[in-house]
Structure 1
């Protein structure tokens, strides 16, 4: 098979709808495979988290454990930023991956020895999940130029959607044979494997598609350089606020889903229609839930994302998810049919993991290497965990001060979703201004 024929076949399948240029296939496939394994790992580890936290605790404790993740990142992010300046992009990715693999094996060993690790593991996994993905995308946005990234990231992101779907399908079956600690060991293995294709990608991207992969700038020496960057630039500050609000809305919905699940289990146990223990019931539910979320995520990523960005434009693609989430919560506030809430969460999470995730990574392409690593390390992990912290405060206030039932949080989620949509529109305007400035400088330099 000639190179031309092979590339034509790939365009009709994996690269459907994406303009692939000579020499780009191997690198983008390697990045696809690495992110596939990272997300497969995440969906082996998430059911283990829910099995532990909802058997040793409650949905309310789960909500507060989410908040502790933000406190952990207050310590971790400055250290992450400081060390990111000392290594090239791939080497640093190797180090972060190795530390996480060892930590997972330690959790499994501690749990099997009889120690109670549910809250500690829950807190660590929340920080890990956003940090490992932020690390990957920092590597990707540094490896590719802005022009190449805007074309190819939809393919790389398909690896995330497909890996999440396969991981959720595997975990749905594995919960019948493995306990939470067995899932952790399986996740450690798949995470270790993810570093192999990433190494190939680092040497396979053609020069025409390559960005700057050197070490980070060394002018900033403060361990809080990432926070300083975010505060000093309007574009980054808006992105941080958007991530906080987006996650605040999403985690409020996660609380509602887990509260509904607890009610369903209590009712089923009392009626005699559920004959399994709570851990197995929760594991099966979340295995099936994540399976649907990631199945739709794959379909959206594969058939819709690249075409939507190409034909409707980046701005529309970026704003679509917050718009759908706002309309969803508005409809639930007007007509609160609790039985349909899980299906709305499937739609919300599917769009978030596919379309919104791809568009959000493209926001970093016009930025410097330091901003891609250090500002991203603040915006993505810390921004999400601040949203978690605020969510825990809202849940506590609603339950214990205002005396709300779970469904009474829906109108509040609608208001927060409106704020998220407003921030998305402000980011679009600021990004257009930034790109116009860069274009103007480039034209001036060409004229000189």
Structure 2
């Protein structure tokens, strides 16, 4: 293990030495952006979940995911229309302002306005994806294909460190200070994020597509791009599969949390500590595991690795339906989502055209990412009404099987595109 770490460090140092000063500065500030976005989200997530369960109960989670669909549609349509007009910097500034104002309002009035925890739960799911969309789109426009395999794991790893820091606040201070008061920490974190994002953009070679060079269009234009690309269809499919499994596991885990921890702030602390363990596992995977999986298994086999592992843990929960097992399943699912899956999924975007990286990617990573939970919600509600919630793990096995069957479909197109680009270069 020490030899692997040393080898990876030497490889990273050699690679960074090959970059220009501008490229190294861009990479540094891009990593800091990932750090602060993940830090704030890991702070807010256990708080919003605990507030939601306290007000509505875990059984209402599928209905919140369903309510995200029209909200998602409107946000993605607006994003795709504004991005070529405003550019990423102006849009990011507006989003920062909206998040700070909205979160402060929730912190002040969540006890007085009953509907706020429901709205806040949906809002945090949307704005964090918009943040990552704006950051990753700029990264895609400035990182070459040959450098992506190694650097993307590092970007995710730095984000994992931010997640560990963010989760530590509710882990130790939710009971002492109250869950709602922790939301005020969004302000200092996002002001720091704004500074490092602006610095990152000052070292950019490329930005978002502009009005002159790209075709106009909103949500429907993004869908048109996806329909015209076999690779984008595959990317859409694996995002849907991953998020459906994640939603089902999330529902199972929150059901246990609600039954075992009845007090809101205690529940927030435990939830955050589970997230802390998950983020620690994620960081290990991001800095070491993802690189080793891709290096040893290859890019193609890496796409089979995630659904196979999730199917294994779902089967384990079928045999042992206990709280420690569902906690292990939750940690595994989230760790893989933010590490191995996140990296191999982002690598699929690298050979695409700029318009596909921004607007088709927005449809997949914002709209489809959260709308997939709506599909899972319908299945959860139906299974709960007509069968039994114990069947949810069997549903996860079926989804994982469909995922593995789709891999060969999409990767043939990926290999065709990358081979053509390498031939031209």
1:220 corresponds to which of 195, 213, 216: 216
Residue of structure 2 equivalent to 1:291: 276
Write the mapping of 1:140-155 to structure 2, written as runs, cut at 5 A.
Answer: 140-155=139-154
In 2, Cα distance between the equivalents of 1:362 and 1:211? 18
- On the 8 A contact 2:209/2:355 being kept in 1, the answer is no
The Cα of 1:257 is off from its aligned counterpart by 0.6
- On the 8 A contact 1:146/1:211 being kept in 2, the answer is no
Residue of structure 2 equivalent to 1:391: 376
The Cα of 1:397 is off from its aligned counterpart by 0.6
The Cα of 1:157 is off from its aligned counterpart by 1.5
In 1, Cα distance between the equivalents of 2:215 and 2:115? 44
Residue of structure 2 equivalent to 1:254: 250
In 2, Cα distance between the equivalents of 1:212 and 1:132? 15
1:320 corresponds to which of 289, 305, 326: 305
Query: Mean alpha-carbon deviation: is it higher for 419-428 or for 393-402?
Result: 419-428
Residue of structure 1 equivalent to 2:91: 92
Residue of structure 1 equivalent to 2:260: 264
Work out whether 1:409 is the aligned partner of 2:392: yes
1:329 corresponds to which of 289, 307, 314: 314
- On the 8 A contact 1:27/1:204 being kept in 2, the answer is yes
TM-score (norm 1): 0.86
Residue of structure 1 equivalent to 2:339: 354
Partner of 1:194, secondary structure, is: helix
Write the mapping of 1:39-438 to structure 2, written as runs, cut at 5 A.
Answer: 39-111=38-110, 114=113, 116-204=115-203, 215=210, 217-222=213-218, 224-265=220-261, 278-402=263-387, 404=388, 406-438=389-421
1:105 to 1:14, Cα distance in 2 relative to 1, 3 A: farther
- On the 8 A contact 1:11/1:18 being kept in 2, the answer is no
In 1, Cα distance between the equivalents of 2:413 and 2:322? 38
The Cα of 1:130 is off from its aligned counterpart by 2.1
1:14 to 1:436, Cα distance in 2 relative to 1, 3 A: closer
- On the 8 A contact 2:81/2:216 being kept in 1, the answer is no
- On the 8 A contact 2:133/2:362 being kept in 1, the answer is yes
The structure with the largest alpha-carbon Rg is: 1
Q: Which runs of 5+ in 1 are unaligned?
A: 1-8, 266-276, 444-448
Partner of 1:199, secondary structure, is: helix
Query: Deviations for 1:224-273, whole angstroms, at most 9, x for unmatched residues?
Result: 211221122221122112111110011101101111222324xxxxxxxx
- On the 8 A contact 2:230/2:410 being kept in 1, the answer is no
In 2, Cα distance between the equivalents of 1:352 and 1:389? 18
In 2, Cα distance between the equivalents of 1:250 and 1:148? 30
Query: Deviations for 1:362-416, whole angstroms, at most 9, x for unmatched residues?
Result: 11111111111111110011112221101111111111222x1x33311111111
- On the 8 A contact 2:35/2:162 being kept in 1, the answer is yes
Residue of structure 2 equivalent to 1:272: none
1:112 to 1:13, Cα distance in 2 relative to 1, 3 A: farther
Aligned length: 417
Structure with greater helix percent: 2
Query: Mean alpha-carbon deviation: is it higher for 225-234 or for 211-220?
Result: 211-220
Query: Deviations for 1:253-303, whole angstroms, at most 9, x for unmatched residues?
Result: 1101111222324xxxxxxxxxxx520232122111100000111111122
1:400 to 1:192, Cα distance in 2 relative to 1, 3 A: same
- On the 8 A contact 2:64/2:122 being kept in 1, the answer is yes
Root mean square deviation, CA, Å:
2.6
In 2, Cα distance between the equivalents of 1:354 and 1:109? 35
- On the 8 A contact 2:80/2:218 being kept in 1, the answer is no
In 1, Cα distance between the equivalents of 2:16 and 2:295? 10
Partner of 2:273, secondary structure, is: helix
The Cα of 1:182 is off from its aligned counterpart by 1.9
In 1, Cα distance between the equivalents of 2:247 and 2:32? 28
Query: Deviations for 1:330-366, whole angstroms, at most 9, x for unmatched residues?
Result: 3333554554121122122112111211221111111
In 1, Cα distance between the equivalents of 2:14 and 2:164? 21
Residue of structure 2 equivalent to 1:4: none
Partner of 1:175, secondary structure, is: helix
In 1, Cα distance between the equivalents of 2:123 and 2:218? 25
- On the 8 A contact 1:154/1:301 being kept in 2, the answer is yes
